[in-house]
Structure 1
Amino acid sequence: MTLLLPAAAQEPSATHVGTLKVAPQKINPAKDFVGRIEAKERVDIRARVTGFLDQIHFDDGQVIKTGDLLYIIEPGPFQADNARIQGALTQAHGQASFADQQLNRAQELLKTEAGSAAMRDQRLAEQLTAQGNVQIAEANLKTSQINLDYTNIKAPISGLIGRTAMTKGNVVGPDHGVLTTIVSQDPMHVLVPVSQREFLMLKKSDRVEARNELEALIRFSDGSAYDQTGKIDFIDVSVDRKTDSITMRAVVPNPDGRLIDGQLVTVSLELAEPVEKILVPQSALIADQQGVYVFVAQKGKAEVRRLKLGEEHGISIVVEGGLSAGDEVIVEGAATLRPDAPVSTYPAPVLSTGGQK
């Protein structure tokens, strides 16, 4: 009779898995935000004196240079007022000259005892009054000249001018509102509201010196990219309490005038210089109640590595903690694995991380 012995327990067979050896890669992480184009300079043109609008010297939408004549308010009444005050000044000078002569005579008579101190004092008071009248007339003349100059309304900045709100023949003045608006064209600003959470993430991504390191890439509403790169030049000093966001501002060249004041655009904020980060394909990530992890092939077994993740980068994701350069992350065949399961490895095909520069 042959005695059959139980077969020896067999080791489970190793699972064939594809691995990817991770190493730091130079990437330029970017985040998209909605921004609004804003002219660097914007001026509302208003009349500073009241009168009839006599001439308009521009076409709506025209390119304007600093100092260009825009409007002329009927100058006649202001010229007449200026001439009247000029005459008053001449008269005041004559009275002052006569008062000087009278004072000199009173002083000479006082020396010969033919005059009196009271007369001398009276002539001195008259001289001071005459000098005061000259100063008043000079101030009135200066004010009149300023008002006369205000009848010629000139462009204080260069840029595009809007349509005129008033036509020839209408009365205009300081209380009649804006006549037109000029907006500068090159460069332009783009304002980007960033939530506190996203702003803190920017700082965590080695972007503390954002004004020196961040660049702004612009896309239009049709998805097309703008060919000029902006540079962050200002970060607001306080948080908007209504939106809980911080406004960042970039300066963008606008040589061809494609950017328009008030335009909504998509703004990608990215580092001017790439940084080195470890990336893993998102398909390799496994989630459970404790968080996100991957399997790493270590000495022929599947080892669990808990990850601290950063931002997405194409089909991959940035790993801020949990992996080191040279680790073999299992990217194929991990679905059936258990911790410490035996594995045999083969190099998995290298896929583009997406967005890498």
Structure 2
Amino acid sequence: MQTNKIRWDVIEQLSKEHGMLSKTFFYGLPEVTDPVHTAVATDDVIVQPKWDISDKVVISTAVVGSFYSKNGNPNQPITPDEIYNSAREAILAGAPIIHIHVRNEDGYNRLDPKLFNQVIGSLKKEFPDVMFDCCLVPRYEGDWERMLEMLDSKLIDVTPINTTATYCGDMLLTKAPHIIIQKARLVQEHGIIPQIAVYSDGDIDNADRWLFKTGLVETGATGQPSHWLILADLPGGSPMPTKSGMVETFMHLHNRIKEIDKDAVIMVCASGRASSYLATLAVLMGCHIRVGMEDTVWKWPHKDDKIENNAKTFLDYKQLCALLGREVASPNDYRKLIGLPLK
């Protein structure tokens, strides 16, 4: 230990002159430190008020998406039976909201009403209170008509509206303005809640210009709070390469959304490398989360351990929320939050 830069003669002199006791004055006796009030103000002055965070947190379980294959995660459900069984297992574990994609025989994402009905239709019969949402992205010839068939099917309660044009990995993912606007209109006409899905801050601006400033989708100022989904940290989205990068990026996206709608309901995906750490930050910030195998293959940012099971993943996040004093919202809690009729 280096001590040659300390003026020890001065230290010794000060010790003799002033003694070795810290100076303490108790102005608030008999309380030393009151955690709620101060002795110099009336009792209605609360010095440390409770934070404005909802007791309830919505956890959506996204059992499979359109991106990853079994090469990325060998545990990924791909076939209709695998997707059905994974979703059912999560529901039995207590998951109140399931986000669903379906894959064709080659393992690629498809907008196929028959496959959706095979998975969701059977689950709805067994679990009528559970909520379902799924992506209805018209990518191929005939998909727009298939999307309309899905909207008519009454299988889903929520669907993302992706206001994005980005390279997601090595895939160009674009949604033209007229498609975004037409889809947002039709979804609402069918009584389904549009969830504005954003990959970056540019997507937030697209949503503001095309959906909110036009009045097509309401904000909390004009009706029910808007519903958003932050899907950052995928390749091509807003990056979160470090711990501080994760916090900065999340807060930037969060605050831009709140500038559009201060009452916005924000769901955050446990996505990319940020995975569980991003979801934890979202819960701390009073947001809601989407977890599962759609948005990441990793359990943690600093390890290569892969997600093994969607039901277990839901239970892990449920425990995390409980440790942070938040309770998993029921399907009806979610319906009330986003403006759907209760069941």
How high is the TM-score relative to the length of structure 2?
0.19
Give the structure, 1 or 2, with the largest relative contact order (CA under 8 Å, sep 6 or more). Answer: 1
- Structure holding more helix per residue: 2
Q: Which has the larger radius of gyration?
A: 1
- Structure holding more strand per residue: 1
